[in-house]
Amino acid sequence: MRIMTKINVWKAGSAIFLMLFVCTLVSLEISEQLLVEVNVTQGREINDLEFALPMSSLQGDGKTVYCIEKQKGVFRDEYVVKEENVSVIRVELEDIIIIGDSFYTNDGVRPFVICATSYPINKGDIVEVSSRKIGTEAEEKEYLEEQIRSQKKILLVGIPIAVICLFLLYKVWTCCVKVHEKQWKFVVKVIGYFFLFVVIFLVYGSFLDLPREILVHV
């Protein structure tokens, strides 16, 4: 009796820890996918009191810009969006604004200002500084569609996974057919196969780059 209890606890514990391990890997993958890509700039110095920033960095109210601040994350440093007030002196050309000397950090260094984002952001969001040039909304949509089309290569991995899922479905069907077994054993087997289904779909789904809208609105 003691050994049977230990075996059952061992099986349950192994299943729980395996699930937690899979969830850890999946959450690391999803948190990467949820990061909004941004382009940053420190601006161009005109003189000691004035320097220039792109017009796109100015927020709708005309008084604030978004900057990034480095903070320590789970495994590496990450960038958090913070809001800074600026005083616009004048506008030169269509895409440059000139701001005064009020815009410095406590260390006397100009912060990195966000001038383009792949998705709307708010204060406190964690973002990823991207080296690729982020375009207009239409260009970003086309880029996203291109990313999704490139996932077709990963869909090939779905073939062996589909075979495994069909095998598990067959086992569930066999369990259902064997109704002469004790009911609780049947329920335990079906729960076990359902658990395997969930694990397989979680692992497979984490390899796909799902659109941000799906991840945010689940």
Partner 1 sequence: MSRKDSVFLKIFLISLAIIVISPIVHMIWMSFGAEGDFSFQAYYRVFLTEPGYLVKFWRSLLLSTLIALGQTLLSCITAFAFKNYKMRGTKVILCIMVLFMILPIQVTLLPNYLLLNYLNLLNTWWTLLLPNIFAPFGAVWLTFILMTIPKEYIEAASLDGAGVVTVLCRIVVPMIKAPLVTLFLISFVDSWNMVEQPITFLQEARSYPLSVFLVIMNEQNVTTQSVCGMLCLIPVTLLFFYYHEEFVDGIADAFALH
Give the count of alpha carbons within 13 A of 126, CB side only.
13
In this complex, which beta carbon is closest to partner 1, that of residue 3 or of residue 159?
3
**Residue for token pair 């099986």:** 11
Which of 47, 62, 75, 90 binds partner 1 (CB under 8 A)? It is: 75
Single out the residue of 72, 90, 149, 182 in contact with partner 1 (rule: CB under 8 A). 72
Nearest in space to 37 (alpha carbons), one of 150, 155, 117, 122 = 117
- Per rule CB under 8 A, is residue 9 in the interface with partner 1? yes
Q: Nearer to partner 1 by C-beta: 10 or 194?
A: 10
**Shortest Cβ 72–partner 1 spacing (Å):** 5
Report the residue from 18, 46, 73, 102 that binds partner 1 according to the rule CB under 8 A. 73
Q: Which of 53, 49, 51, 50 is nearest to 41 (CA)?
A: 53
Q: For 7-38, give one letter per residue: b (16+ CB within 10 A) or e.
A: eeeeeeeeeeeeeeebeeebeebeeeeebbbb
Interface with partner 1 in residues 188-207 (CB under 8 A): none
Query: How many residues sit close enough to partner 1 to count as binding (CB under 8 A)?
Result: 23
Q: How far is the CB of 29 from partner 1 (least distance, A)?
A: 9
| CA 171 to chain centroid | 35
Return the exposure string of 95-110: e unless at least 16 CB atoms fall within 10 Å of the residue's CB, then b.
Answer: eebbbeeebeeeeeeb
Supply the minimum distance, in Å, between the C-beta of residue 5 and partner 1: 8
Which parts of this chain interact with partner 1 (CB under 8 A)? 2, 5-6, 9-10, 12-13, 16, 20, 23-24, 26-28, 30-31, 34, 72-75, 215, 218
